[in-house]
Amino acid sequence: MSGLGDYLRARRADLSPADAGLPAGERRWVPGLRRSEVALLAGISVEYYVRLEQGRERNPSPAVLDALAAALRLPRDGAEHLYRLAGLAPAAGAGGAAGPERVDPRLVELLQAWPATPAVVLGRALDVLVANPLAEELFGGFPTTRNLVELVFLDPLAHALYPERDVVARGAVAALRLADGAHPGDARIREVRRRLGGSEEFTRAWQRHDARGKTAERKRFSHPQAGELTLHVQTFDVRGAVGQQLVLHHPGQGTPSADGVALLGILAAQRTTRPDSRPASPGTAPV
């Protein structure tokens, strides 16, 4: 098998006939679409599509990939991942050093200037490279790990932090899969995957071959002191730092969540005045 074939097979299994605009027809023995249906929707022969899934055809044309992306209803991230697997798109880290990641000091200053918005900068493998005080409080100071994927799967506190943990877990794995395709061979991503290899839940999710980045979404948190929070999450690529993302968690104005975030700010201020307080995020420390 091949990465391209695995991805096509997983996306085919995840798409129902109704999603693809096809009649359900007779009883189906496998989930999702049949190979013949994908081939029909993409306008290619069944034999050629079978060779793609089996890894016997590794050089599809851009036109074929476009047709497959449309047939499988892939979002932009998914289509880009498809192209990378077929070797028709450069890796995001091409030409860049894959050494320790550092955050621009000016970006660190910007994060600290947001008094009402928990904000973090993520690295290639979804490591929290820097977090402002509100984000430190929101995530409980990251007591066991500063990697968001490891946090979801390895930290028992994640079940309390995320009321919708299953959704968060699927999104975290899909983001790591997308990063793995964009930065092939990255040592830090390999290390995170190795640490998560003992989690059966992670292994099952990884085998789904979902690949998508963080987008605008609403995420629920349950904080032991600030209570239930619903935050609007926005993600931005950091220009000049390959693989880094700025993630903002913004409460709606005048909402209970805004009051909860304000309480996070009070807690953060109190913590900095105590001699036994947790150290602040280093910001420019390598990962």
The pLDDT tens digits for 213-238 are 877 789 999 999 999 999 999 999 99
- Give the torsion through C-alpha atoms of 135, 139, 144, 146, to 10 deg: -40
Q: Which CATH class is domain 3-85?
A: mainly alpha
How far is it, in rounded angstroms, from Cα 132 to Cα 136?
Answer: 6
Q: What is the pLDDT of residues 87-119, one digit of tens each?
A: 887 665 543 445 678 899 999 999 999 889 999
Amino acid at site 159: H
Query: Could you tell me the CA-to-CA distances from 113 to 5, 83, 107, 117, 263 in Å, in that order?
Result: 47, 39, 10, 9, 17
The reply to whether 3-85 and 105-272 are identical in fold is: no
What are the sequence ranges of the domains in the chain? 3-85, 105-272
Q: Give CA–CA dist 144/32, Å, rounded.
A: 39
Cα–Cα distance list, 208 to 11, 97, 173 (Å)? 8, 30, 9
C-alpha atoms less than 13 angstroms from C-alpha of 284 in its C-beta half-sphere: 6
Regarding the domain delimited by 105-272, which CATH topology (the fold level of the hierarchy) does it fall under?
Answer: Beta-Lactamase (3.30.450)
Q: What is the pLDDT of residues 117-139, one digit of tens each?
A: 999 999 999 999 999 999 999 99
